[in-house]
């Protein structure tokens, strides 16, 4: 554990894709995408990637917009914003789902969170819930002005940590007409209580560490970080939870990306530990779909959020048999099941405004 930054054992990275070496290949291409089946070049008449930048609260955001095959800006299309996991970037699992949705006819966008990835913001790796929620609103701002987008048919998909932040965003942002999550991760609950409530006895101690880190920053001292900077094969093998063991393999081995990191400023915990994705979740009145693997050790978070989402009468929990959290990021069998359900859901609620 000596490789773990600041000896923070509460490592809560929200992982993206994942693990088994069988076919989980990194792809060298102009777009930097690292998921299997990624677009390697833009070809006329096929799904196309547009690298874009825009300002959000003074910070430059880097994003990829995917347009459907035979895209015609004079026509009308439904659109979906996709939020990536904590520590992830748009080139990983968020890109995979964004591309698949574009293949189904949606205009889609995946952006790197502010302070993270290729987006701007200092200090780097700041990870505050209010920023991540604002990032989702910013994607809606941008895509709603994109040529061909029908603003009455805007949807949102959040993956892992991005799922928790998406649930929070749609509580108030009614521009989003339908919302879905895949392997939702409630970042605030885990940062506060530990994964599977394993750190309830150290909450005050960790709040003190976060307070001290902020004090040090304000005084002009070194910025403290929590999380994992690097990890050995032996440490991966000794990790007992599927989420983190498979996540380490995904992020540090099979789907590594130079912009992806599991470090975050320790002072971010001042905001993370008092935040919860399910607070006021009853404000969600839009159609809601939540997807989780039956073997996911994070499924308890999806179950809790789904039960508390009492403000919508159009909600569905879809469980993928045999899938772990990380496997929903990349295993074709599980991704296909998730995509089939997402297609059914978004087609139903975004295809015509009468379904809103």
Domains detected in the chain:
5-355 (3.40.50.1820)
Q: What angle do CA 320, 127, 316 make, to 5 degrees?
A: 25
pLDDT, averaged across the chain: 91
- The whole-number pLDDT of residue 27 equals 52
pLDDT in tens, 109-131: 999 999 999 999 999 999 999 99
- Residue listed under structure tokens 């403290």: 224
Q: How confident is the model at residue 6 (pLDDT cuts 50, 70, 90)?
A: very low
Stretch (H or E) spanning 226: strand 225-228
295: pLDDT strictly greater than 80: yes
pLDDT in tens, 52-80: 999 999 999 999 999 999 999 999 999 99
CB atoms within 10 A of CB 39: 20
20: pLDDT strictly greater than 50: no
Q: Are strands 59-67 and 48-56 parallel, antiparallel or unpaired?
A: antiparallel
- The whole-number pLDDT of residue 28 equals 65
- Mean pLDDT of the 30-47 span: 94
Which DSSP category does 310 fall into? T
Smallest CA-to-CA distance from 153 within 131, 132, 176, 170 is with 176
pLDDT in tens, 147-167: 999 999 999 999 999 999 999
- The whole-number pLDDT of residue 352 equals 56
């Amino acid at each position: 554990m000596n490789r773990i930054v600041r000896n923070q054992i509460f490592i809560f990275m929200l992982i993206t894709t994942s693990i088994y070496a069988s076919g989980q290949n990194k792809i060298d291409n102009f777009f930097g995408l690292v998921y299997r089946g990624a677009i390697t070049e833009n070809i006329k008449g096929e799904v196309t990637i547009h690298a874009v930048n825009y300002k959000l609260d003074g910070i430059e955001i880097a994003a990829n917009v995917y347009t459907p095959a035979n895209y015609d800006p004079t026509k009308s299309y439904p659109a979906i914003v996709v939020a990536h996991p904590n520590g992830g970037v748009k080139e990983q699992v968020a890109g995979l789902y964004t591309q698949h949705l574009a293949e189904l006819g949606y205009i889609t966008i995946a952006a790197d969170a502010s302070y993270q990835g290729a987006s701007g913001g200092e200090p780097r790796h700041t990870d505050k819930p209010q920023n991540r929620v604002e990032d989702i609103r910013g994607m809606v701002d941008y895509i709603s002005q994109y040529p061909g987008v029908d603003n009455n048919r805007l949807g949102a998909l959040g993956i892992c940590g991005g799922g928790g932040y998406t649930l929070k965003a749609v509580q108030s942002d009614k521009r989003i007409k339908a919302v879905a999550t895949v392997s939702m991760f409630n970042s605030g609950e885990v940062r506060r209580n530990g994964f599977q409530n394993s750190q309830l006895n150290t909450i005050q101690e960790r709040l003190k560490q976060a307070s001290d880190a902020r004090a040090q920053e304000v005084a002009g001292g070194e910025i403290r970080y929590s999380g994992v900077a690097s990890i050995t094969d032996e440490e991966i093998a000794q990790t007992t939870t599927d989420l983190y063991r498979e996540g380490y393999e995904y992020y540090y081995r099979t789907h590594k990306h130079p912009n992806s990191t599991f470090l975050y400023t320790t002072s971010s915990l001042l905001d993370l530990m008092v935040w919860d994705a399910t607070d006021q979740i009853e404000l969600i009145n839009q159609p809601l779909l939540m997807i989780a693997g039956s073997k996911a050790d994070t499924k308890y978070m999806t179950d809790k959020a789904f039960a508390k989402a009492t403000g919508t009468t159009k909600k569905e929990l879809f469980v993928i048999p045999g899938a772990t959290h990380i496997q929903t990021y990349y295993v074709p069998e599980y991704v296909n099941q998730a995509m089939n359900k997402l297609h059914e859901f978004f087609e139903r609620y975004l295809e015509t405004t009468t379904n809103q």
